[in-house]
Every structure is written in C-alpha cells, then in structure tokens.
Structure 1
Amino acid sequence: MTNCCGLVTKEKLPVPLKSISVEVQVKGHVATVTSTLQYVNEEERPLEALFVFPLPADAAVCHFSAKIGEHEIVAELKEKQTARDQYDDAVSSGQQAFLLEESEESSDVFKLSVGCLSPGQNAAISITYITELSVQADHALRFCLPAVLNPRYTPAGSAAGIVSEISSVCDSVPYTLTLSVHVSSPKPISKLESNCTLDPLVFLDSHHTHATVNLSSGHKFDKDVELFVYYENTHQPTAIVEAGVTAAQPGSLMSDPVVMISLYPEFPEEVMSSLTTQGEFVFVIDRSGSMDCMMHHGEGAQMRIESAKETLLLLLKSLPMGCYFNIYGFGSRYESFFPQSVVYNQDTMDQALKRVSEMRADMGGTEILQPLKHIYSQPCYPEHPRQLFVFTDGEVGNTKEVLDLVRNHSSSHRCFSFGIGEGASSALITGLAREGCGHAQFITGTDRMQPKAMQSLRFALQPVVNKISVQWKVPDGITVDTLSPPINVIFQGQRSLVYAQIKGQSSESSEGSVMIQYNLKDQPVTNQLHFCLKPAEDTGLMIHRLAARSLIGRLEQEERAGGAEVESVRSRMVKLSVEAGVNSVHTAFIAINKHNRETVKGPLIQRRIPTQGLYLRGSQLPVFGYACVSKCRERAIVSDGIDEELDTQMLESLQCDSRLKCSLTDLPPVQTKSSGVKKSIKVKSLFRRNSKQKSMSSVQTNVHSKQEAAPEPQKDSFLQLVSLQKASGCWEMNSALAQVFGKTEDELTNQKPAQVDGSVWATLLALIWLYGYKMEHQVEWQFVAMKAASWIRSQNVGGLSQCVCDGNVLLGCHVTQETLGI
C-alpha cells in the first residue's frame, strides 16, 4: 500500500520530514511567515515525498526554494500544467525537482512534492507567505499556524483532488517545530499571548514598538499554534503606502505604489443601544461524526456536539419575541426542526429545546451544500432579514462550490460562521462570512463556543449598514484604483482592509485621503482618514502581494461564474500571479536542481508525510474523513495497487478505536481501483454478504464500539438558570429556580415583597444573581438579561428599589437597580 496517503510502510521505515522551523515577522496587521522543512532520505533507494499541509485562507505564497547541500534552488512560478509537466519530466529523467501547488478545491490546502532525493541526502525546503491578521472580540490580532489538517469530506460524485490526499496518523507527528516571532508596529505593543507555551516577551526598544518571542522548546506540533498580538489604540485607522518595483512593466500593479487602509468605523452609542427585534435566524449545526470529538485535550473538555447544544440553548433564549427562527442539522443528509422558519414564542421555543436536547453527532459525513441550497430556496419574510449561523468542523472538499452558492444569495441574507476545533478549514469559515457579509469565529483550544456565538448574535442584531461607498481624494495628476472587493458589511468596531493602486505623479500636496460613507438607521455617516502618499520604507512588497492575492481571488470568482470571457480571465490571473510572484489556483512553484550533474538511478520510493489526522488502529487503511476516530462513518479510499478481494478482507477485519460510537455499516461507498477500473463497494453490503455465517450483532462486536462509562457531568447552575427562562424574558417561581440559588422555594416565597407577584420577584432575583455571581460570563447572558429587564419594565411595578434591596439580602449580593437596567 505504498500509494496510500499518509501511511508509513509495514516495515515502519522513517518519514523523511524531520523538522519544521518557522519565522514570523508581524508588521501592524500583516504577518510574513517563512517555514523551513528539513527532509532527509534515510532509505537505501531514491525517494519521492508528498507533504499535504494547511496554510491560512487567502495567504499569498510568494517564495519557494530548496537547499541541497551548498546549493540553493529558487523556484519559479509558472502556469500549473507547465510546472507539473516539468516536474514529471525531471523526476522521470532522474533529476531532483520540487513542486508546490494550491488545491483546486480549497485555497487553504497545499501539496509539496519532493522528487528524487538520493539515499542519505538532505533537503531544506523554504516556503514564505504573507497573510492578514484577523481581529478578535477583545481587539487582539490573531495569527494561526495550522498544524492539524483534517481530511476533507468529499461528497459522492465529486472529483477527488489534493484535499483528498490527506495524511493520517493516530499519534503525534514525527517531526519537531521551532517558531520565532518578531513584532513591529507604529503603535506600542501591549502584550502577546498564545495557546502554546512561549518564552518571555522581549522588547527591543523603549517605546515597546518592537518585540520578539519564541515558542518554548519541546512543543509537540499536535495542534494549531495561535498567537494574539495586542496593540495600544488598536481602533485608530491606519494607512501604509508601499513603493512599486522600478523594473516591473510600466502600468502594472507591481510598478505603481499600493496603499493598504485599515478602517474602524465607530457607531454612536445611542444607535448601538437600540438592537433590532426583527429577523429570521437560521442555525445550521454540523452533526457529522467528528462532532463527537472533544473540544480540546485539556481537563474538563466537552464533546463538540454538547458545546453546540449549550450554545443553541443560549441563542434560543436570547432571541427577541416575534422574530422567526429554524434549526438545521446536517451531515451526509440534513433535517430541519420545522418545515420552514416559525415565529419565536413560548411554544415554538419549547419544541426546539426538546429537539436540541435529543441532538446527536449521528449524521455521517459533512455535506453542507445541500442544506444551504434548501435554506436559500425558502422564501424570506418581509421586514425580517435572514441571518444564518453556521457551526461546523469546516472539513469539506467542495469549499469553492459552497462559497459560490453563498455569494449568489448574499443579497438576501447574512452568514455568521464558526469553525470548531483544530484543523477547521479557514478557507471555508472565513469564506462563508466574507461572501455572506457576516463575521467569522474560530473556537480552538480551551475557547468557549458560547461567548463567540453571542458576540455574533450582537452583530446580527445591530442596525443594518447600507449604501456603503469608498471615495478617494488625491492631488491632480494622481488616480486611485481600488483593488479590494466592495465593502458589503460594517459592524461596530470591526476592521475593513482596503487595497488600492496609486497611478500617476503630482507636484502638489503629498497627502491624500479616503472617505467611507454609509447609511445607519437611514442617517448618513462619514468616516475619513488622511494619509501621506510618500511610500513607507522596508515593507518587502507585502502590500503589493496581498493586493495581488485579493485581486486574484476576484478573478477566480469571475472564472467560476462562467461566460465567454473565461479564458481571458484565466490568462489575466496567470499573468498577475507570475508578475506578483504569488500563488493562484492556475500556477505552481517549480524548482529543478541543475547543479547536480549526476542523475538519480533506480526506482523511486513514494512516501506520504503525516499531518495530524485520523488513522484506524490495527489497519493500514486510511480513513479520509476527520481527525477523530468516530469519523469512520465517512468515506474511505483505497489507492491503486490493491486488488478488490484484498480490499474486502481488509474492510471486514477493521479494528476501530475504542472511542468509536458507530458501526461500520454506516460507511458511505468505499472507492477501490482494480485492474484499472474504479469500482464502488458499499461497506454495508460487505457485512450482509457474511450474514449467513454470522449475525450482524456479531459483526458489530468486531468493531470496538464500547466506551468507558463517563462520570455524570455536574449540572451548571448558570445553564440551569437560563434553561428556566421563558421566551418573554421572565422566570417563574418554582423549586428548580430556588435550587439554582441554593435556596428552597419557601425561602424565596417568604422573602417576596407584598407589592410584586411571583414572576416579577423570580425574574428580579435571576437578574441579581447573574450580575452578582456571573459577571465573568456577561457576554453570554447579555441578551437574556436585556429581555428580563425589558419584561420587568413592562409590568409597571412600584417599589422596585426596595425589591432590589430585599433580593440582594436574600442572595448575598450588592447589585444596584441602575446596574440591572430596570
């Protein structure tokens, strides 16, 4: 099975990738990342290695080189098929060659082919890319070095590509990682945090605008490395002008200066306090097998599906009365709670919560395209804008098809996306939000899903910003061409990056300005930024390359849209990619070692370098679904070189991990190749074939589906309280509520002031308890509290001040009436 991706040989021969070292240069909102991969061929014969690995979505790969001995070979960027042909010709003739190409299905997956390494030979592969840093809720800038590349689920009938060639191992990857970071910014650096252990931050100047930090030694590269950079005055808009290349073709993007503008529109407080009470909220929940994995590997980790259920509880309790809502679960199939979205009231909320409590990660693969098509086919409700909340592992093989669908319906909805767990596709998660004019969130490590979901709900409830325009004011003789896609959405405190090409010259003022205008609640708003047209020094063309990558992305969309100009668009894309030196779906980096005069002789051994993923213990069969053993519900692929009879035996004898909660009879078709003819075998039929010899129950016992009994989780008092709230926002006086407070129902009743009824008293106590004991989770219950305060105000109760005092005494709190908002 030497062709099986991601598997070592039966002889346990060593994998050629030995180490990865990464250098990160953060400048403001942009990071330049150089990764060096150290290979060594410890075989006795020539080696060809394949390494499939993730990069951030929309990263601009701008350099690829290989160092063999004392010779460094710098790759050229060429049209992809030309590069592939040159690679094949070089390898077949015994030359050393290297090929780096982007997946055609997902822009965050790359394949590196290392060809013809002689026995005992070393090769150091260097890859440099530039990426924007995303802004987090606490204003940090997030950099992520993906370590886990989860295999992407490819729906039946789809063509398999790079994302299907995913490596899979059960333990930690057999290579080491070192990482160093240098941060520079015109604004002082407040701090730098990470989900991994770092050495102390070292400031290089007294103004704290330059700093370095290293990843602590001994790090196991078994999860994404996340860095969070905090600057002072993060929300101030900034502009960077970068000089062009004098040797570039006149009039081209690379020859002219390019400006990058970061904008932070701020909305008036009186506007932000008036959240909308209308909308259609559609929650789309991944229920594939991988949602049965843990959120993280630390103490107290939840299963992903359980965290999603708690998040749905909070979201459902936070919706405004009279809006519309629905919930979809999806996997290899999909289902909705209601035939179409229903009005939010007590009855529909209760029905939905009952269904949520019964949700399981039992729907097979991850096919998100069909449920989205169904949702978009439903008519919208007038005056209730549609808001999609998509929660997923983000592991699909048809990412671009999904994003095209979302873009085509962007005028009728907004999409808020959530990537759950390590290895979620950044291309899918960020793409859903970008094309759906929403906001993307990633839940990794010990992150809680609930606060991030509630932050996105706040965005969804903000007043809609429309009629957005960007206007440039520059001296005579100068023009500005905007390269970025139009700004379709603006949220309070969220950054927008705009790239533009500056053409011409002027002897007048060296200052320009950009003005963003929009309507907020039917009122015109203008934000303006002045900037110097003089180019900054030492930017390393990072702005040009990010601008080029942004423009290439727009051309890709035009190409997929079809039409008579497809070939012209593709030609423009290839030309721009080669001129700017950044990757595209139609180009690839090719490097051939012409220093080595001796050709490599003998047949090549093929190796697939593992990344963290799924591997069925006791079997040489890779399961391409997810980095979780319970994902064996998904597709398995058997490569060339195995006859059909052997494949059948292997499948029937699979021994799964003890955490497996499903039967192999749930597997979709298994693709095999025999005698050059591709065939499909349903695993279910394989078991039925043996039904005369043994019952299905005895077959299933061969799959170790038992798991150790988990201890009964303790009930969270906060979630208990939220679950008891009515759709209107009030609570009722009962023993369950008293239990949350650690009291008896009689104690609550005896202390109730005479002038208020039981529901008002219960709701007031619930508010006091939240503010008194759960302030650290306020972002999660903010809308629950707002509904409760609004309901209390609607009751026109007298003597509330005394009620608040009595409630504080009963619960041992010190919360003021002003704090409660009543």
Structure 2
Amino acid sequence: MNTHSSYSPTRLGVCGCYIYDARACQRTYLPQVKLESHTTILSTASRTVMRQKFVNQSDHTLKEIRYAFPLFDGISVVDFVCHIGQRTIYGLVKERREAKKTYDVAKTRGETAALLEQDPDAADVFKTTISNIPNGSSIFITIKYIQELNHDAEVDGIRLTIPSSIFPRYGYCPGNLQKRFGMVAIQGISITVDVCMPEGIPIRKIISQSHPIEVTLGSLSTSTIDEDVSISRGSAVLALQRIEFRHDFILRVVAKDIGIPQAILKTHPTLPNQRALMTTLVPKFNLKTEKPEIIFIVDRSGSMSHQIPTLVSALKVFLKSIPVGCMFNICSFGSSHSCLWSESKGYNQETLEEAINCVDAFQADMGGTETLAAVQSCFKMRNKHCSTEMVLLTDGNIWAQQQLFNYIIEETKSRDVRVFPIGIGGQVSSALIEGVARAGGGFAEMVAENEKLDRKIIRILKGSLTPHIKDYRLEVK
C-alpha cells in the first residue's frame, strides 16, 4: 500500500506514552496521571521544566514503550531525566547512531534505558523510547528546555506557547508516528509561568486567550512573604486543574519598553571566566516602501476546515490594504493547486472586487496539503522584472519540511524574492512556519483561535513592502 496516498490527516494528536504493536499497527496508551509545567520568562527568553507521570497498569514488564511529545520551534532541550521505580536515567548528548547503539545494548541486557531524539522530518517532534518497564511501576519524565520568545504584534508584547500536541501532518509520517488509535485524556494539569523583566521595566499585563489563568503582578510564584513587591515581576497559573488540554497554551506579556534593544549577560555557575551574552536588536530603519508583486499562497486542504473563516478574514484585510501600483495573485492549494489568474494583475478596484469574490467562495475542499508543489509553481510563474513577496497562509500540518526549506533557500538566493508565512489555528507546526520564514528571508506570524488579525496582517504587509537590502554590516562598539 502506498503510504502517501493512504494517509489522511485527522484531528487526533500524536502525543503520549504508548506501547506499539507492529503486527496490529496499533498503539495502546498508558494513562497519564499528572502534568506539571513551570516556565520562567527572563526578558525575551524562557526556561521550562516539564514533569509528567505515567503508570504501567499491566500485569507484566513492558519490553519497550514510546513517548512522542511536541516542542515549539527554536527550543533547545538542556536536560532529560526519567525515573522508573528505583532507577533513574539521566540524558547524555551523543551522536544519533551512537546513542541508538547504546540504548539497544542496554535494552538487550534487560536494563531500563531511555532514548530521546528529535525527529529529522519535523523539528517540533521529539521522541523518547524507554525499555523494560516493570508492571505496576510509575514513569516520571522530566524535560528542561530553553527558548527565545517571539514578538506578538497584536499586543506589542512577547508570546509564550506551550504546545498541547502535535497535529497529524500530511504526507508520509516517518517511523512509528504513522498511525494513531485511541487517546488518553490528560488530567491533573498544572501550568505556572513566572515573568522577570529587567529592573525598572514595569509589567503592564499578563493575558491568555487560550486558557483561564490567575495572574499576580508584583511577585513570582516562588516569592516569599518577606520579599519586596517589584513592578518588574509577575506570575500566571492555569486556573483549572482538571481539564482536557486540547489547545496550545498561549501566554502574552506586555511590558513597558519591550521594543527597545536589550542585552542579557549570564555567568556560568561553575566554570571560571565563562559567560554568555544574548542581545535583542530592534531595527528601526526609515526605508521607502516598494511596490512589489505579492502572491498569496493559500492552504485550502481538508485540515483547514475549521480555519476557513479566519483565513478569509485575513485575506480580506490583506487585499484591502495593498497599495495601488502593486501586482498581486492568489494561489490556492491542497492535493493540487490553482491560481486566480494565469499571471499577476495590477491592483485596482476591478481586480480587488474579483479577488474578494473569489475569497468569499473559499472552502476547505482541495484534499491533502501539497505545499511544496504550490510553492514551486508560484516561483515559476512570478514576475521576474520586479521583486516578489510570497505570503503563505497555512495550518502547517505537513511532514518532509526540510525538502520545502531547501527549495525555498535555493530559489531565494537572488534576494529578489521573500516568503512570509502565517500560521493559522491553534495547532500550527511552528517548525514549519518559522523554518519557511528563515529560508525565505521573511518573518512569521501566528494567528490562533480568537486572536485579532489586523495588527499581525499589517505587520506582514509592511514587511513585504520594504526594500530588499542585500548587504548588511553590524558594528558593535
């Protein structure tokens, strides 16, 4: 059977701890008893400690279990610890093949071992394989990771996302993530976020539209009674402890002067004379706008069925904001792709009305998600006599992401084309969206459910109208 054609996306996630039966192509999930997440935001970076507990309720030792879990793009895992009964397994960084060999040897000996690896086909999919789990035992998994946080244009603040699950991706699903049967709902969820801004920079608000939270300004969740109240500190706690965690947890922090350049210097706690510096540079160039060709590449696959209203709203804001004198076109894609016109047309009242009528009729009725083929077609049809801005609107549910990145990198070497991706929905693959932005020389925006579109759309449009500057020089004094 052809895996590409037989696999169809569904709305079930693939995150969890499970036993995989290769003969039946079936997963049996272990019940998850507890999930605790504690994040500390320091200016524009964060550190998260995530703890999960699973239980082997069977009457026999499990030879091997697997655990797939989602991490946002740009995250670096810095620690992995697994407790099973009286045994503790600590993670060590090794080359992929060497790590797999070490794991297989320990498994053959009957030892309890674990292997944590990142999926090469999707940067936001990590997998853990654990061997020899005694009956009745509990599995405690602790993962620590760090990341740099993105700007949120809607509130002009920073945005923290804790993903709930990895949505099914279209295309060949690599390795053991191909099929999913059954799901165990997560109960006993605790999410705590502490926010520390530089001294003297007040936190104005901490908000979440994805989940109900309790917010405290002036102190951290770890603060003692004797500590002074600080305008630069705050914390948020998920208010409901027993819910099904079906959507990404999105937290936004608004603070004064968040848009000014900042630098954080960190001294190593044990190694002498070792420091790390993280800088946030905020470019404010006064550049003249251009009138490029703008091609909207629009995902109308089946997985977009719940996102069509958001997609249509976003496109209408875009279309009504294009400056007169630009050329534009719309390419819809799914299993196949088609364009509004055979070539881009000049922006005027007549072409705007034709485009609006086309967008109003959009449905998620084009099958699968063949993103690469649509992007290739747009690069081939673009106007070679002017700069081109491509705006990709998608929920990002595809595998084989690196193939798409490589193509975009190759095609944008001339530096007269840029790609600006917009992730739509609450379960977007951040690895795809951020990866396309890096490859295409643009920047990304995420639009989750119940979020306002206007500011994010205008930010993308302003970015697409800036000149293509090919050479930069940075001087640090």
Equivalent of 1:140, from 149, 157, 160?
157
- Alignment partner, residue 60 of structure 1: 76
Q: State the alpha-carbon separation in 2 of the partners of residues 78 and 239 from structure 1.
A: 31
Q: State the alpha-carbon separation in 1 of the partners of residues 354 and 284 from structure 2.
A: 39
CA RMSD of aligned residues (A): 2.5
Residue 191 (str. 1) matches residue 210 (str. 2)? no
Match of 2:405, SS? helix
Equivalent of 2:389, from 370, 384, 387?
387
Q: How does 1:247-286 map onto structure 2 within 5 Å? A: 256-267=274-285, 275-276=289-290, 278-286=291-299
- Alignment partner, residue 292 of structure 1: 305
Is the CA contact 1:327–1:337 (under 8 Å) kept in the aligned structure 2? yes
Q: State the alpha-carbon separation in 2 of the partners of residues 329 and 403 from structure 1.
A: 20
Q: State the alpha-carbon separation in 2 of the partners of residues 111 and 4 from structure 1.
A: 21
Q: CA deviation at 1:334?
A: 1.1
Per residue, is there more strand in 1 or in 2? Answer: 2
Is the CA contact 2:299–2:394 (under 8 Å) kept in the aligned structure 1? yes
Q: State the alpha-carbon separation in 1 of the partners of residues 450 and 462 from structure 2.
A: 22
- Alignment partner, residue 237 of structure 1: 261
Q: How does 1:475-490 map onto structure 2 within 5 Å? A: none
- Alignment partner, residue 334 of structure 2: 331
Structure 1 residues 449 and 38: alpha-carbon distance in aligned structure 2, compared to 1, 3 A threshold: same
- Alignment partner, residue 620 of structure 1: none
Q: Tell me which amino acid in the other structure corresponds to 1:82.
A: E
Structure 1 residues 190 and 317: alpha-carbon distance in aligned structure 2, compared to 1, 3 A threshold: closer
The structure with the larger Rg is: 1
Q: CA deviation at 1:316?
A: 2.1
Match of 1:397, SS? coil
Match of 1:340, SS? coil
Equivalent of 1:406, from 399, 405, 408?
408
Structure 1 unaligned blocks of 5 or more = 249-254, 294-303, 473-512, 514-822
Q: CA deviation at 1:290?
A: 1.2
Q: State the alpha-carbon separation in 1 of the partners of residues 311 and 424 from structure 2.
A: 9
Q: CA deviation at 1:291?
A: 1.2
Match of 1:376, SS? helix
Is the CA contact 1:109–1:162 (under 8 Å) kept in the aligned structure 2? no
Q: How does 1:735-774 map onto structure 2 within 5 Å? A: none
Is the CA contact 2:186–2:244 (under 8 Å) kept in the aligned structure 1? no
Structure 1 residues 148 and 166: alpha-carbon distance in aligned structure 2, compared to 1, 3 A threshold: farther
Q: How does 1:631-642 map onto structure 2 within 5 Å? A: none
Is the CA contact 1:52–1:166 (under 8 Å) kept in the aligned structure 2? no
Q: Tell me which amino acid in the other structure corresponds to 1:146.
A: P
Q: State the alpha-carbon separation in 2 of the partners of residues 174 and 76 from structure 1.
A: 29
Is the CA contact 1:147–1:221 (under 8 Å) kept in the aligned structure 2? yes
Q: TM-score, normalised by structure 1?
A: 0.51
Q: State the alpha-carbon separation in 1 of the partners of residues 453 and 257 from structure 2.
A: 27
**Deviations along 1:650-689, whole A, 9 cap, x unmatched?**
xxxxxxxxxxxxxxxxxxxxxxxxxxxxxxxxxxxxxxxx
Q: CA deviation at 1:456?
A: 1.3
- Alignment partner, residue 457 of structure 1: 461
Q: How does 1:554-569 map onto structure 2 within 5 Å? A: none
* Identity rate, percent: 28
Is the CA contact 1:243–1:257 (under 8 Å) kept in the aligned structure 2? yes
**Deviations along 1:220-266, whole A, 9 cap, x unmatched?**
21110011122221122111233358759xxxxxx853321111123
Q: CA deviation at 1:63?
A: 0.4
Q: CA deviation at 1:408?
A: 2.0
**Deviations along 1:756-807, whole A, 9 cap, x unmatched?**
xxxxxxxxxxxxxxxxxxxxxxxxxxxxxxxxxxxxxxxxxxxxxxxxxxxx
**Deviations along 1:368-410, whole A, 9 cap, x unmatched?**
111111222235343x321111110101101111112222233
Deviates more, 1:180-189 or 1:391-400: 180-189
Structure 1 residues 311 and 361: alpha-carbon distance in aligned structure 2, compared to 1, 3 A threshold: same
**Deviations along 1:721-748, whole A, 9 cap, x unmatched?**
xxxxxxxxxxxxxxxxxxxxxxxxxxxx
Is the CA contact 1:189–1:210 (under 8 Å) kept in the aligned structure 2? yes
Q: State the alpha-carbon separation in 1 of the partners of residues 202 and 238 from structure 2.
A: 22
Is the CA contact 2:420–2:440 (under 8 Å) kept in the aligned structure 1? yes
Is the CA contact 2:75–2:145 (under 8 Å) kept in the aligned structure 1? yes
Q: State the alpha-carbon separation in 2 of the partners of residues 108 and 163 from structure 1.
A: 16
Match of 1:101, SS? strand
- Alignment partner, residue 46 of structure 1: 61
Q: State the alpha-carbon separation in 1 of the partners of residues 90 and 466 from structure 2.
A: 50
Residue 367 (str. 1) matches residue 367 (str. 2)? no
**Deviations along 1:417-467, whole A, 9 cap, x unmatched?**
111112211011111122222221111131144542233112223455553
Structure 1 residues 258 and 200: alpha-carbon distance in aligned structure 2, compared to 1, 3 A threshold: closer
Is the CA contact 1:106–1:397 (under 8 Å) kept in the aligned structure 2? yes
Q: How does 1:202-213 map onto structure 2 within 5 Å? A: 202-204=217-219, 205-213=228-236
Q: How does 1:632-711 map onto structure 2 within 5 Å? A: none
Structure 1 residues 206 and 465: alpha-carbon distance in aligned structure 2, compared to 1, 3 A threshold: farther
Is the CA contact 1:103–1:163 (under 8 Å) kept in the aligned structure 2? no
Residue 173 (str. 1) matches residue 223 (str. 2)? no
Q: CA deviation at 1:284?
A: 0.5
Q: CA deviation at 1:6?
A: 9.7
Which structure is higher in RCO with an 8 Å CA cutoff and minimum separation 6?
1
Q: State the alpha-carbon separation in 2 of the partners of residues 197 and 7 from structure 1.
A: 35
Is the CA contact 1:151–1:395 (under 8 Å) kept in the aligned structure 2? yes
Q: Tell me which amino acid in the other structure corresponds to 1:185.
A: M
Q: State the alpha-carbon separation in 2 of the partners of residues 36 and 6 from structure 1.
A: 29
Is the CA contact 1:184–1:210 (under 8 Å) kept in the aligned structure 2? yes
**Deviations along 1:338-386, whole A, 9 cap, x unmatched?**
222222234433433333233221111111111111222235343x321
Q: State the alpha-carbon separation in 2 of the partners of residues 209 and 218 from structure 1.
A: 31
- Alignment partner, residue 420 of structure 2: 416
- Alignment partner, residue 97 of structure 2: 81
Q: How does 1:759-798 map onto structure 2 within 5 Å? A: none
Match of 1:218, SS? coil
Q: CA deviation at 1:67?
A: 1.9
Q: State the alpha-carbon separation in 1 of the partners of residues 313 and 435 from structure 2.
A: 25
Per residue, is there more helix in 1 or in 2? Answer: 1
Query: How many equivalent pairs are there?
Result: 442
Match of 1:222, SS? coil
Q: State the alpha-carbon separation in 2 of the partners of residues 234 and 374 from structure 1.
A: 40
Structure 1 residues 357 and 198: alpha-carbon distance in aligned structure 2, compared to 1, 3 A threshold: closer
- Alignment partner, residue 9 of structure 2: none
Structure 1 residues 110 and 441: alpha-carbon distance in aligned structure 2, compared to 1, 3 A threshold: same
Structure 1 residues 183 and 107: alpha-carbon distance in aligned structure 2, compared to 1, 3 A threshold: same
Q: State the alpha-carbon separation in 2 of the partners of residues 390 and 363 from structure 1.
A: 16
Q: State the alpha-carbon separation in 2 of the partners of residues 107 and 179 from structure 1.
A: 24
